[in-house]
Structure 1
Amino acid sequence: MKRRFSLLLLSVLLAQPAWADNKADLDSLRERLQKLQQEYQRTRESSAEATDALKQSERAISETGRKLHQLEREQREVQAAIKAATAEAAQTDAEIRERQTRLGEMIRQAYMRGGGDALKLMLNGENPSQAARDLHYLSYLSRAQMQLIEEMRQGLARLAELKESAAEKDRVLAEIREAQLKERENLLKEKQARQKMLNQLAGEIRKQRKEIATLKRDEQRLSELVARLAKLAAKPKPRPPAKQQTPASKKGATGDKPLAVNTAVPEPGRDNTPFSRLKGLLRLPVAGELMNRFGTPREGGGVSWRGLFIRAAEGAEVRAVAGGTVAFADWLRGFGNLVIVDHGEGYMSLYSNNESLYKQAGDRVKMGEPIASVGNSGGQESPGVYFELRHQSRPINPMAWIK
């Protein structure tokens, strides 16, 4: 293009009527630009379809992760129940042994009193009063023995019931968890395939955008040149056009190198403190690498960062920076699986690009409570969390609130 531009300038200096050839070049360039824009539109439509498919996949992965998180909690409860049942079993076993000892003592005392001789004395009519007392005592021992035996039977039955119930529930949970893990594995494979397709489409779109922008600039320059040449060709002494200035390029806001590393995460506490009084006391929601500064231009320019992207290990817990109510928990285009927590007084915190959402809209959360897991949903290349703080819907610098 620069060579063509130089030749056209030379033709103007030599006062040759070359503008007609450049008009043909312009028509050819416009035709190429039109075809490229049509291809670009088709690629964008394919990308939108892939994004919708990725949305469903990431939603399903989030739901599976939430169920797994719930199953892990239920499994801990079952394990605690089994531990309690084991303790109760030991206590019941001790009680059974104690009752066996008492039963043996009763039998020994009955034998020592000569229960059989008392019955003979009563039948023979010898000392009937003593025989009656002995028979009454024997009757009491018999009832006590039967009660102890019944208590032992009930205790053993209860013990067997507790163990069987806990073991059965644990087996069911293990089966469900295995099925959920397989489902999650399949969903992750599907997500990776769709993400790969989306990345390819995104690469094509970036390439086409760059080429379209270049062609538009070339078209504008050539159009201006053709217009000037057309005017100059009608004059006896043409003058060369003014030299065009190349606009300065804009540098990207961030690269792959982190600006800082965060190791502290929110801990439980201060749930009753108004959010406005927590300035300078908060922690970032996840440990990881800070990849940008609030308010700086994003790569490509034009848009500034309204929050912080924290690159972190996939699957790590994302914690609420303060107590509040979940206002939104769903997939959103450009943000993936997103959680928004309302802290009151017009303050909200946003956590996006998550793999799984542990909470649902309307849930109450406490400071430091896990609300999601780190991922790269929404088309993000690296796993991490995009975090924003807002007041009255306007973004505010999170670092001004971090301890």
Structure 2
Amino acid sequence: MNISLLNNSFFCRRLATTALVCLAFSSPILVHASDAELKGMKQEISRQNTVLSKQKKELSSLQNSLKKHEVSIANASKKIRNAEQELTTLKSSISSLKQQQSELTQQQIGQTEILKDLLVNYYLTSRNNQLSNVLSGDDVTKMDRMTQYAQRISEARVGAISQLEFTNMQLEEKEADLLEKQQRQSELLAQYKKEKVTLQTSQNKRKKTVSSIRKRITNESSYLNELQQNEKRLKTAIAKAKAKNNVPMDGIGRQKGRLPWPISNPKTLHSFGTKQTGQLTWKGMVLAGDYGTPVKAVYSGKVVFADWLRGYGLMVLIDHGKGDMTLYGYNQSLMKKEGDKVRAGETIAVVGDSGGQDRPSLYFEIRRNSKAQNPRSWLRR
């Protein structure tokens, strides 16, 4: 009330009006009017807070939906890739089996012909041998020779029959193996088509969700707040990962300027230290890439985080020891899980647009003792 009176007195002096006018402005009516205005302002502030709270809840709900869609896309993409790889292997295996079947069939035909000849020869030899026994004019030596010849033909016949039986058995096994692989191929193709539908459905839902999120982050202030919250979430994730994992490795200290790039043929969209919005700058770099491009670990280490994180999408965090970590975000799907050990150059994910990005890219960051480093200083020129 004193402030109101002071302001009113100042207003009166500025106007240089009569005391009666001043008295009118300083009257209880004005005091009551100010109280009413104050009450109205408080109500408006309360209403605005309610609106903001509702908007935050809606945004969080949309981000949760985005996570659900992008994880679904990641799972479908992974299953499709696995199915494609298995189909390629099966196709090669089926082709090889058919070739083996063809060779065994030719072998079977040849063995059958040999067996036919042996049977004919065995029959003729046995018949001649019987005639020799009847005819007393043949000498004993010739009879012995005929008997030995018949015996050898008989042994060869038995061997040919055994080989033919083994070939037939191999053909039956190959046929069963082929039928099994063709059945698996049919199942995989059905699964492949199903996952394609799932992928397309999730992608359509994701597109609508991303559009809704962007409508709610319409000004620089709300965008800045979202980015600041994302940074806090990342720091929390890193702190938890460090607390859970103690990786006794040598770190990347000796690798400055020698680390390989995480994706091939990278094009830099955003560089470390450049303005993101307001006073906020990029803590890492964003590299353009095609969907499905392999993302590779720049150095050996242990995966300490492999999950979806708001603002970063599907992300992999690798601990290299001595407080050194590398971060890979925006991925379409992850190839490694928490606890996996990885080698330098090993594929850990594939490029995507998760986290609500509008194009396929990779977010790459290097941290030493939780402090962001300029990746260009560490990567090969």
What range is the shorter-chain TM-score in?
0.7 to 0.9
8 Å Cα contact 2:259-2:298 kept in structure 1: yes
CA distance in 2: counterparts of 1:276 and 1:86, whole angstroms: 55
- Equivalent in 365, 370, 374 of residue 397 of structure 1: 374
Query: Can you give the 5+ residue segments of structure 2 that lack an aligned partner in the other structure?
Result: 1-9, 224-248
Q: Output one character per residue of 1:175-226: Cα deviation in whole Å (capped at 9) or x when no partner.
A: 22222111111221222222222222323xx48959xxxxxxxxxxxxxxxx
SS at match of 1:359: coil
Matched, 1:76 2:54: no
Query: As a proportion of its length, which structure holds more helix?
Result: 2
| Aligned AA (1:328) | F
Deviates more, 1:283-292 or 1:51-60: 283-292
CA distance in 2, matches of 1:122, 1:141: 24
For 2:334 and 2:172, the matched residues in 1 are separated by: 43
1:145 has 2:160 as partner: yes
Q: Secondary structure at the match of 2:281?
A: coil
What is the TM-score when the length of structure 2 is the normalising length? Answer: 0.73
1:275-354 paired onto structure 2 within 5 Å: 275-286=252-263, 287-301=265-279, 303-354=280-331
| 1:293 counterpart letter in structure 2 | S
1:115 is matched with which residue: 126, 135, 152?
126
Tell me, in whole angstroms, the C-alpha distance in 1 between the residues paired with 2:50 and 2:16: 39
Give 1:55-204 correspondences, 5 Å limit: 55-107=67-119, 109-110=121-122, 114-122=125-133, 129-130=143-144, 132-133=147-148, 135-203=150-218
In structure 2, what residue type is equivalent to 1:294?
Answer: F
Letter in 2 for 1:291: L
Q: Is the 8 A contact 2:250 2:320 kept in 1?
A: no
CA contact (8 A) 1:291 1:308 kept: yes
Tell me, which stretches of 5 or more residues in structure 1 are unaligned?
1-8, 211-271
User: Which among 360, 377, 381 is matched to residue 337 of structure 2?
Assistant: 360
Structure 1's 313 and 139: CA in aligned 2 closer, same or farther, altered over 3 A? closer
Partner of 2:217: helix, strand, or coil?
helix
**Corresponding residue for 2:239?**
none
Kept after mapping to 2: 8 A contact 1:65/1:358: no
Deviation at 1:150, TM superposition (A): 0.8
DSSP 3-state at the match of 2:338: coil
Q: Secondary structure at the match of 2:270?
A: coil
Q: Which position in structure 1 is the counterpart of 2:15?
A: 14
The one-letter code matched in structure 2 to 1:61 is I
Q: Compared with structure 1, are the counterparts of its residues 277 and 139 closer, same or farther at alpha carbon in structure 2 (3 Å cutoff)? A: same
SS class of match (1:306) = coil
Separation in 1, partners of 2:127, 2:180: 47
Range 21-30 or range 95-104, more displaced: 21-30
Residue identity matched to 2:96: A
Counterpart of 2:62 in structure 1 is 50
Residues 355 and 187 of structure 1, relative CA distance in 2, 3 Å threshold: same
Distance 1:11 1:315 in 2: 73
Gap change, CA 1:140 and 1:125, over 3 Å in 2: farther
- Paired residue type of 1:116: R
Q: 1:12 & 1:209 partners in 2: Cα distance?
A: 43
The 5-angstrom pairing of residues 184-263 of structure 1 reads: 184-203=199-218, 206=219
CA offset at residue 124 of structure 1? 7.2
User: Which of 331, 353, 360 is matched with 1:383 structurally?
Assistant: 360
Deviation at 1:299, TM superposition (A): 0.5
C-alpha contact (below 8 Å) 1:92/1:159 kept by paired residues: no
Counterparts in 2 of 1:361 and 1:75: CA distance versus 1, 3 Å? farther
SS at 2:57's partner residue? helix
Inter-CA distance 134–10: structure 2 relative to 1 (3 Å threshold): same
Matched-pair contact (CA < 8 Å) for 1:65–1:357: no
Question: Normalising to structure 1: TM-score of the pair?
Answer: 0.69
Displacement after TM superposition at 1:400 (Å):
0.2
The residue that corresponds to 2:4 in the other structure is none
Relative contact order (C-alpha < 8 Å, sep 6+): which is higher? Answer: 1
SS of the equivalent of 1:298 reads: strand
Which deviates more, 173-182 or 272-281?
A: 272-281
Number of residues of Structure 1 aligned to a counterpart in Structure 2: 330
| CA deviation string 1:354-388 (max 9, x = no partner) | 22112212333333333222233223344322111
Contact 1:338-1:352 at 8 Å conserved across structures: yes
- CA RMSD of superposed structures (Å): 3.5
Contact kept? 1:122, 1:132, Cα under 8 Å? no
